[in-house]
A and B are shown apart, each in its own frame.
Chain A
């Protein structure tokens, strides 16, 4: 009898919460079927046996991809931990919060812009070489192209992001533990090993696995700085197979290898990936100063990284100001790509917010005990929804692009339409993991706090949303919207497959300019993108908080 009871209550519960749960479940299943369709499209389109066809070329690619991803992850984590550690212990200085905010903005900086800035500093005719040529009559040459450049860019993009999340863990260490460490006369190393490492371990592993996945599937950085077929990752090889060789069979083979490995990596790391960490944190200072030497080391770490982080951005501004903006703004291709990028970013950020809300609404429905949390199947459904929101980590964008490309060839419809659809899907999926990591906890908390009150008052549907959820999660919504907007605006992934003179986004336009050595125009466009991205990322959340 007990089982039929739970069945009845499960059904009743589902009916009661249908408005909250069904849209999310529906979307989640749509996403999963999309992934399945994509996989089948790729799998059916390739005719040779995947496992016998792994020739030495692919093995070589795979080796380099894993090698650079491993090195990038280790370096990014090393720098990230050092920086977070230094910032945690130097908790009181002017501009610290600004600096921390700047580091967290690295998440939305378009890869292409970062690379452009890095070339400006470290390139063969960059500032560093020019300066050294002027001072010592010696040029370091073109060390940036190749593994060195790839590592540098990956550390730039990921170390700041890692440090932001790690700083949060450092700051949540109870101050009593530091007191204890001090009274036990721990050395810095012992203090790190016994007090700090256990506290940051979870974040460390979680961030580490995410950074590894991002570097493993890195496209724009390798495309721009690889500079040589000997430094290819699987993603770039897929792009080259389609665009240079028109060897769809090879592209499929590579895509399936890439897909299988990232899927395995996602499953393996899901144990310690606790969701991409929320970027909001509070500061509580450690009540004593570090020793002089240690303080100096920490200052050096902060200073060096800040220089490393800010200089490429400064170069973009300096080089960009000198550009001929009347010519750039008058270029029909610029106007076209600007409008395309802004439209895509707007639509995809609205979609991201909507989908993330529906998914997190369904998830809280399945986890909270006031709702369906205690019911059977709830756990499974919750896990499925969570996985569907993180699809992007398992399906790299070029693989997705290839799937769309095959569908475009198979079915009718204009290229522009298919391109727009491919880009929108990729951009939404790319933003979802970050959107969910912000919105899920917020939605969860509102329900925990107000469910009983809302149920007793009979608040439902839009009224409940207006009085309960919206005021509480307003600022998170704005943050997610801005994040998705910037991701979409800066994305140089699928567009590499679909870009043409009829369908062009700002990053693709900039990439074309860089390829044709129209450096001053490129600098101007890079500046436009930088201002746009930082402007949106800073202003939109403020607008929602009513600070404007």
Chain B
């Protein structure tokens, strides 16, 4: 038995010694998953560039950021991909990230985002998603949501660990302002559970544990394209929808800076823009070589996008989260 273990040990050492570590990208699990965008992006990027890529999926993008903070300068990550503009300021403050030197003025975003450290690669709008077959009268505003029958249950994400959860928090804050805490008190009875990341919440919803889940206006496209299922819809809210611009940045400690910069460049290529809509189910930040998949025409595209500036969010984030915690604590 001991022999076997020591052989195994030697073998792993050997593998570590001979293989040059690939360009390592920390991201959220839905992106890195076999059914996510990562495999297609890996193939396309490696074909055009002389770099090997490895995606590491964490339970959420904020967890990925925290992992990098925990590992500090010793981190294996070269790129952090998938946080959004709301949390990007927190990442910038760590001082662990590098300027990208890309020209981002030509990006096609509904809300301008021009930052020297992080750069956008897709965007969408936060929305509650439900199945038409189960929910006949979905709510069309936050007020309608809290006048649903008592057994109507939603799943949301923890704003401390999930960008989706944070987006909802800021959504409610932009709509209700000082009354946000009071609104959360009214919403609390409808919350089935609060998950750490988006995939856990979405998994619960698909298993039928909840009637509605906090996700994105673009989520139904996945069910149309991949599953040929048209009953999954996002509920348009009168108050407008909070936007989510997903961004990526390079680590200062990266040992693959050339490859990392090439990857950042690649994020603004037509190839990438073709993959994102039907891989990560979000809008691309530049026009692809083909028009968007027809499924996207059936989606609700909000007229009004709410988005609080990242710097403002960072100033108030702690206070807003504490207000939320106090409101939902029993």
Binding site for B on A (CB under 8 A): 56-57, 60, 124-125, 141-142, 145, 227-231, 240, 242-246, 339, 343, 405, 409, 415, 500-501, 512, 515-517
Contact = CB atoms under 8 A, between A and B. Distances in A.
Given A501-B56, A517-B207, A245 B328 contact: no
B192 A56 contact: no
Contacts of A60: 326, 329
A15 B207 CA distance: 70
A244 B209 contact: no
Interface string B293-330: 00000000000000000000000000000100110111
A415 B59 contact: no
Interface stretch (B67-75, B117-125, B249-257): B67-75
Contacts of A246: 66, 69-70
Nearest to A512: B59
B5 A339 contact: yes
11 contacts: A60-B326, A124-B209, A142-B209, A231-B330, A244-B63, A244-B158, A244-B196, A516-B29, A516-B203, A517-B199, A517-B207
Given A57-B325, A60-B329, A125-B209, A228 B69 contact: no
Given A142-B193, A244-B161, 10 more contacts: A57-B326, A60-B329, A125-B209, A229-B158, A242-B70, A244-B63, A339-B8, A515-B200, A516-B200, A517-B203
Contacts of A415: 71, 74
B192 A244 contact: no
A419 to B, nearest CB: 11
A353 to B, nearest CB: 19
A229 B329 contact: yes
Given A57-B322, A246-B69, A339-B5, A229 B200 contact: no
A263 B82 CA distance: 43
Contact of B193 (A145, A339, A409, A515): A145
B207 A125 contact: yes
A409 B70 CA distance: 8
A125 B208 CA distance: 9
A516 B329 contact: no
Contact of A230 (B5, B204, B328): B328
| Interface size bracket, B side | 35 or more
Interface in B161-201: 161, 191-194, 196-197, 199-200
Nearest to B192: A142
Interface in B110-168: 151, 153, 158, 160-161
A246 B153 CA distance: 31
B193 A228 contact: yes
B285 interface: no
B193 A227 contact: yes
B199 to A, nearest CB: 7
B62 interface: yes
B215 to A, nearest CB: 15
Contacts of A228: 191, 193-194, 328
Interface of B: 5, 8, 29, 56, 59, 62-63, 66-67, 69-72, 74, 151, 153, 158, 160-161, 191-194, 196-197, 199-200, 203-204, 207-209, 322, 325-326, 328-330
Contacts, number: 75
Contacts of B192: 142, 145
Contacts of B194: 227-229
A515 B322 CA distance: 25
Contacts of B63: 243-244
Nearest to A240: B160
A500 B58 CA distance: 10
- Residue among B8, B192, B197, B329 with max Cβ neighbours from chain A (10 Å): B329
B330 to A, nearest CB: 5
A141 B66 CA distance: 34
B207 A230 contact: no
A339 B8 CA distance: 10
A517 B207 CA distance: 10
A405 B70 CA distance: 9
Contacts of A501: 56
Nearest to B12: A336
Contacts of B72: 409
A244 B62 contact: yes
Contacts of B8: 339
A295 to B, nearest CB: 42
Contacts of A240: 160
A244 B5 contact: no
A182 to B, nearest CB: 49
Nearest to A514: B200
Contacts of B199: 516-517
Nearest to B29: A516
A229 B70 contact: no
B326 A515 contact: no
A244 B56 CA distance: 18
Contact of B66 (A124, A243, A409, A512): A243
Contacts of B69: 246
A240 B208 CA distance: 28
Contacts of B191: 228
Q: Which 4 A-B pairs have the closest CB atoms?
A: A517-B203, A230-B329, A244-B160, A227-B193
Contacts of B158: 229, 244
Contacts of B329: 60, 229-230
A60 B325 CA distance: 10
A515 B207 contact: no
A145 B197 CA distance: 17
A244 to B, nearest CB: 4
Contacts of B160: 240, 244-245
A228 B71 CA distance: 27
Given A57-B326, A227-B193, A517 B67 contact: no
Contacts of A229: 158, 194, 325, 328-329
Contacts of B71: 415
Nearest to A55: B322
A512 B197 CA distance: 12
Contacts of B208: 125
B208 to A, nearest CB: 8
A60 to B, nearest CB: 6
A56 B161 contact: no
Contacts of B62: 244
Nearest to B209: A124
Contacts of B151: 141
B326 to A, nearest CB: 7
Nearest to A502: B76
A516 B32 CA distance: 13
B200 A517 contact: yes
Contacts of A405: 70
Contacts of A56: 326
A319 to B, nearest CB: 15
Nearest to A247: B318
A230 B193 contact: no
B120 to A, nearest CB: 24
A516 B328 contact: no
